Amino acid sequence: MIIAVDTCVLVDFQIGNFNKKTEILEQKLSVNAVFLPPVVLTEFLSNPRLDHKTYRFFQDLPTLEIEDGYWQRAGITRRKLLQNGLKSKLGDSLIVQSCIDHEVALLTRDEDFNNYVKYCALRLV
């Protein structure tokens, strides 16, 4: 089973902050079962302190392709939270929509994604 990974888990893994989430990431990396939402790849690679070796490793991970209608669906996903008086960062909504479109669970430690589980059918690892 493949998973998608959020930026916070990638950063923890990269800096050696090992925890249950990074253990799962390491296990999934060993069997080539990790895909990155495009927004996560952009966030991670934009770090100006990222060393070349790490940059190359994560740059080469497969990404979840953006499908037709993605931007519209992402707007609807974000609207669902906003209509319920909940915060919804644009980047988070884009990550969520990539996961929903590809029916993959997201590995994250960011509790903001819990509302997407409740209102948008996001699955978490």
Does residue 9 contact residue 108 with C-beta atoms inside 8 Å?
A: yes
The pLDDT value recorded for residue 47 is 86
Tell me which residue range forms the domain holding 2.
1-125
Q: What is the Cα–Cα distance from 4 to 106, expressed in whole angstroms?
A: 5
* pTM score of the predicted model: 0.92
* Number of domains composing the chain: 1
pLDDT at position 57, please? 84
pLDDT given at position 54:
83
| pLDDT in the model for residue 55 | 81
Residue-level length of the chain: 125
Residue 51's pLDDT is 84
Which residues of the chain, if any, have pLDDT below 70? none
25 burial via Cβ count (<10 Å: 0-12, 13-18, 19+)? buried
Q: Give 48-116 as a 3 state SS string.
A: CCCCHHHHHHHHCCCECCCCCCHHHHHHHHHHHHHHCCCCCCHHHHHHHHHHHHHCCEEECCCHHHHHH
Q: What is the CATH number of the domain that holds 123?
A: 3.40.50.1010
